[in-house]
């Protein structure tokens, strides 16, 4: 090192002081990220009538939020409203199809009238179709896009102008690990979730200057009890069996309560992305650093999944039961279905 490269003690002290200053500012920044409280906030959760959305509503209400939920089925929506009211939550429940723009406009107008300006939007409503590509029709892709992508865009467009005007707000988008990896037998779902991830990430970069934070939630499997209401194609019972077993296995899937806690915490911190559980994180990292290896593993998984196209009709999971599911292998998922309003009392 010659004399020009050598640093004087003064410059070294300046550099050290600067670094400390940056570290201090970053720590303060992190603290500021954690300081957003949900107490008294107006929070709209799409698809809050059952599964994860219902737990998010419960978690937000426990933090003092005034909560609005929606869903298409008025009966499960009313059951959810009653369950939330019973724990003392202030809750507004509005029937709405997020795939229909006019329905979303009416939803947001009604919620704003009842709760005032919206502080937080959680785009959670989602549908899933399970089966091989040869058993899927274009309408399955249209349905997935309509709910999982357009159903995320429409509510976002409705709340953005007001959030921009007020210079604050949070938009939490529930996407999926299926939006980072193309999963065999979930093609319509994966395609729509890729769209959702891209939209969510880009939107965050654009609206940050308006004081709005967009949080992309990328969950792997969660035990929400959703397989009963998912749609199955191809060899229905075999498809339902692998999907409902995967959704029930501890280690591979995370409990819906834990997922809801993580999501609400990420919303309060204003995280760019939250990806869980560990299996999903590992899969995402592996895909980024070793895409050929990931493709090979997904290819093996694809070959293990039920082959053939026994029937091209659509059936809800509850109509695809067999000796394997429900069984002890799906015990945790079946319990979640009972707890999180997935089963109508008459069923």
Ligand X SMILES: NC(=O)c1ccc[n+]([C@@H]2O[C@H](COP(=O)([O-])OP(=O)(O)OC[C@H]3O[C@@H](n4cnc5c(N)ncnc54)[C@H](OP(=O)(O)O)[C@@H]3O)[C@@H](O)[C@H]2O)c1
| Structure tokens, 63 | 């933090």
CA angle 273/91/155 to nearest 5° reads: 45
User: Rounded to the nearest whole angstrom, what is the least distance from the CB of residue 323 to ligand X in the complex?
Assistant: 23
Given the rule CB under 6 A, which of 11-19, 68-76, 199-207, 262-270 is the region that contacts ligand X? 68-76
Q: Residue 335: helix, strand or coil by DSSP?
A: helix
- Tell which one of 60, 91, 127, 187 touches ligand X (CB under 6 A): 127
- Tell which one of 36, 62, 63, 73 touches ligand X (CB under 6 A): 73
Kindly state whether residue 122 participates in binding ligand X, applying the rule CB under 6 A. no
Cα–Cα distances (Å) from 300 to 122, 191, 338, in that order, read: 35, 20, 34
- Tell which one of 108, 125, 135, 159 touches ligand X (CB under 6 A): 125
185 neighbors 230 (Cβ within 8 angstroms) = no
- Closest to ligand X by CB, 164 vs 252, is 252
Quickly count: other Cβ atoms within 10 Å of residue 166's Cβ. 14
User: Rounded to the nearest whole angstrom, what is the least distance from the CB of residue 32 to ligand X in the complex?
Assistant: 29
- Tell which one of 38, 43, 44, 52 touches ligand X (CB under 6 A): 52
Residues in region 143-172 near ligand X by CB under 6 A: 147, 151
- Quote the CA–CA distance of 98 and 85 in Å, as a whole number: 24
- Tell which one of 126, 306, 317, 326 touches ligand X (CB under 6 A): 126
User: Rounded to the nearest whole angstrom, what is the least distance from the CB of residue 262 to ligand X in the complex?
Assistant: 12
68 neighbors 117 (Cβ within 8 angstroms) = no
- Closest to ligand X by CB, 9 vs 262, is 262
Kindly state whether residue 287 participates in binding ligand X, applying the rule CB under 6 A. no
Residues in region 80-99 near ligand X by CB under 6 A: 96-99
Q: Compute the residue count for the chain.
A: 347
| Structure tokens, 235 | 């060899």
Kindly state whether residue 219 participates in binding ligand X, applying the rule CB under 6 A. yes
Q: Does the active-site annotation cover 154? A: no
- Closest to ligand X by CB, 34 vs 201, is 201
User: Rounded to the nearest whole angstrom, what is the least distance from the CB of residue 149 to ligand X in the complex?
Assistant: 11
Q: Are strands 231-232 and 120-123 parallel, antiparallel or unpaired?
A: unpaired
Kindly state whether residue 49 participates in binding ligand X, applying the rule CB under 6 A. yes
- Quote the CA–CA distance of 295 and 129 in Å, as a whole number: 21
Dihedral of alpha carbons 279, 285, 291, 292, sign: negative
- Say which of 154, 189, 240, 340 is annotated catalytic: 189
Cα–Cα distances (Å) from 84 to 5, 36, 57, 103, 160, in that order, read: 66, 23, 8, 23, 27
User: Rounded to the nearest whole angstrom, what is the least distance from the CB of residue 75 to ligand X in the complex?
Assistant: 8
- Quote the CA–CA distance of 121 and 98 in Å, as a whole number: 13
Distance of CA 26 to the CA centre of its chain: 28
User: Rounded to the nearest whole angstrom, what is the least distance from the CB of residue 19 to ligand X in the complex?
Assistant: 40
Tell me, by CB under 6 A, how many residues bind ligand X.
Answer: 32
Kindly state whether residue 135 participates in binding ligand X, applying the rule CB under 6 A. no
Q: Under the rule (CB under 6 A), what is the footprint of ligand X?
A: 46-47, 49-53, 70-73, 76, 96-99, 124-128, 147, 151, 174, 176, 219, 221-222, 224, 226, 229, 247
């Amino acid at each position: 090192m010659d004399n020009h490269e050598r640093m004087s003690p003064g410059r070294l002290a300046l550099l050290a002081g600067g670094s400390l200053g940056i570290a201090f500012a970053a720590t303060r920044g992190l603290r500021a990220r954690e300081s957003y409280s949900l107490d008294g906030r107006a929070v709209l959760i799409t698809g809050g009538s059952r599964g994860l959305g219902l737990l998010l509503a419960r978690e937000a209400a426990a933090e003092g939020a005034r909560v609005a939920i929606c869903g298409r089925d008025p009966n499960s929506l009313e059951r959810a409203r009653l369950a939330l009211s019973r724990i003392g939550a202030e809750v507004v429940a509005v029937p709405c199809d997020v795939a229909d723009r006019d329905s979303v406009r009416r939803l947001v107008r009604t919620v704003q009238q009842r709760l005032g300006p919206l502080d937080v939007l959680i785009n959670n409503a989602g549908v899933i179709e399970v089966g091989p590509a040869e058993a899927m029709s274009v309408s399955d892709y249209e349905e997935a896009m309509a709910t999982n992508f357009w159903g995320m865009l429409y509510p976002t467009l409705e709340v953005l102008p007001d959030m921009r005007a007020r210079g604050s707000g949070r938009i939490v988008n529930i996407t999926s690990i299926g939006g980072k990896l193309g999963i065999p037998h979930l093609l319509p779902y994966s395609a729509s979730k890729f769209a959702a991830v891209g939209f969510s990430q880009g939107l965050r970069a654009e609206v940050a200057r308006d004081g709005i934070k967009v949080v992309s939630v990328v969950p792997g499997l969660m035990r929400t009890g959703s397989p009963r209401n998912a749609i199955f194609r191809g060899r229905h019972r075999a498809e339902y069996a692998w999907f409902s077993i995967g959704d029930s296995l501890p280690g591979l899937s995370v409990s819906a309560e834990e997922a809801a806690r993580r999501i609400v915490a990420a919303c309060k911190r204003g995280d760019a992305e939250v990806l869980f559980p560990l299996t999903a994180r590992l899969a995402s990292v592996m895909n980024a650093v070793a895409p050929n290896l990931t493709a090979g593993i997904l290819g093996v998984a694809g070959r293990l999944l039920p082959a053939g196209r026994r029937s091209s009709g659509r059936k809800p999971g509850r109509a695809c039961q067999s000796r394997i599911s429900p069984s002890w292998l799906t015990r945790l998922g079946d319990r979640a279905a009972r707890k999180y309003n997935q089963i109508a009392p008459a069923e």
